[in-house]
Amino acid sequence: MGQEIDLLVNYPRTKRNVEDRGATKTEADRAIARQFGREFFDGDRRTGYGGFDYHPRFWQPVIPTLRDHFGLSAASSVLDVGCAKGFMLHDLAQTIPGITIRGIDVSQYAIDNALDDVKPWVQVADARALPFEDRSFDVVIAINTVHNLERDDLARALREIMRVSRGQAFVTVDAYRDDAERLRMEAWNLTAKTVMHVDDWTAFFAAVGYTGDYYWFIP
């Protein structure tokens, strides 16, 4: 299996009021968020981001970490599973000119509103059945995406990631290490259908054949 490594170490962190979010989010809000439409990306803060816009300060500091870890160059190819509006792919192409980028997202709204320069390279698709041939990409990345599936579907998505990659992958998933973090996650979570202890995640990865790298999202 791959390694536990925080490749988002340089992604800017904002202070999260987890308790306030837990008090205001309802199951109805979560149901709306899980449609991954306009309300999730650009609607009210209760049902998602409250406005999902491009800012270079988020992904530009991360791309050098990904480049160095995976040895990315103009000759490389990268697939972003759950690419949303393509912000990471945009910064990846800007930082490494010539690199081959592709992205998929379950959200028609996100793809329709992707940045203009990445629109030719992104499409609506399902992580459980990636529309690419075996070993199509040097690296496959899925940031806070696959945990939005139930366990059986999540297993399929992880196998698909490995199928279309040439062995290198990176996923981040909602997780916790103790009861305090579990309670915070329960309050924070809006879309994830599978949340586990970090030890259970690593066992799950091994059981389903995911051999890429991984890290945790813990609010």
Which pLDDT tens digit goes with each residue over 87-124?
Answer: 999 999 999 999 999 999 999 999 999 999 999 999 99
For residue 14, pLDDT over 90 is answered with no
Distance of CA 144 to the CA centre of its chain: 3
68: helix, coil or strand? helix
pLDDT of residue 1: 77
pLDDT of residue 18: 56
> Residue range 181-194: average pLDDT?
93
For residue 28, pLDDT over 60 is answered with yes
Instruction: Select from 200, 202, 210 the least CA-distant residue to 169.
Output: 210
For residue 23, pLDDT over 60 is answered with no
Per-residue pLDDT tens digits for 117-176: 999 999 999 999 999 999 999 999 999 999 999 999 999 999 999 999 999 999 999 999
Cβ atoms within 10 Å of 6's Cβ, excluding its own? 13
**What secondary structure does DSSP assign to 166-216, as a single string?**
EEEEEEEEEEESSHHHHHHHHHH-SS-S--EEHHHHHHHHHHHT--SEEEE
d(CA 172, CA 145): 8
What interhelical angle do 151-164 and 198-208 show, nearest 10?
A: 60
d(CA 195, CA 201): 9
For residue 213, pLDDT over 70 is answered with yes
pLDDT above 90 coverage of the chain, percent: 90
Give 182: exposed, middle or buried? Use CB within 10 Å, 0-12, 13-18, 19+.
Answer: middle
pLDDT above 70 coverage of the chain, percent: 95
pLDDT of residue 16: 59
Phi, psi of 155 (to 5 degrees): -60, -40
d(CA 148, CA 125): 14
Instruction: Select from 33, 58, 30, 46 the least CA-distant residue to 186.
Output: 30
pLDDT of residue 53: 96
pLDDT of residue 204: 98
Domain architecture of the chain: domains with CATH: 18-217 (3.40.50.150)
